[in-house]
Copies of this chain bind each other. A is one copy, B any other.
């Protein structure tokens, strides 16, 4: 039997925010239509996935009522450690796919399997010989990179920085050395409540001439992007919003 297709369904970037972005502002009609046809899902959290499906339903009616949709959650260790530190066999989650059913993979915000869990599900779909169809939607990393003015023709995303102050400083210096040596922009993210601490650590540790960009709440109300030399960041510090998710980028 020909397996179904695995659709990678992006979500808006307003997860956890007070004000929700109108879906049509950030999601193509084609993406919403493809999502509305699906009835079998793999997600990080069934509750927030249902809330998102409800928002889609208000724009493009869902093929099946919410109560009739099947939602399976990714196991906890995948959330915590990522798909690669704790490899697991996602094929059981894809039983409907094997039986010819199309399925959707969803993350809480942005593109599934990018800066988010889900790669193991995509791998399993390839193992089953299923077609994988990524749908267009917002991806905070790419938006932040484009808006930073830093090198977008050579860049790396390295996830989160260490939480320990000494290890974090070490990692910042390592990333700066790499960026200055190779010209490769280094991008990383942080959970909102640590934004201010990370910015402070960056401004203290980096060289004055290094360029530092911080993009906050992209696609959301009050979005901001600042891209400046570390020297300028020192001279004009910026108050940090502790709620909006941030993407940081450094480069020459």
> A residues within 8 Å of B by Cβ?
8, 22, 24-30, 82-84, 111-116, 118-120, 122-126, 131-134, 136-139, 141-159, 183-184, 218-219, 223, 225-228, 252
Contact = CB atoms under 8 A, between A and B. Distances in A.
Copies in the complex: 2
B113 A149 contact: yes
A156 B213 CA distance: 18
Contacts of A141: 142
Contacts of A28: 24-28
Nearest to A21: B30
A228 B126 contact: yes
Given A84-B153, A218-B134, A146 B159 contact: no
Contacts of A114: 142, 145-146, 152
A219 B136 contact: yes
Nearest to A143: B134
Contacts of A226: 126
A134 B146 contact: yes
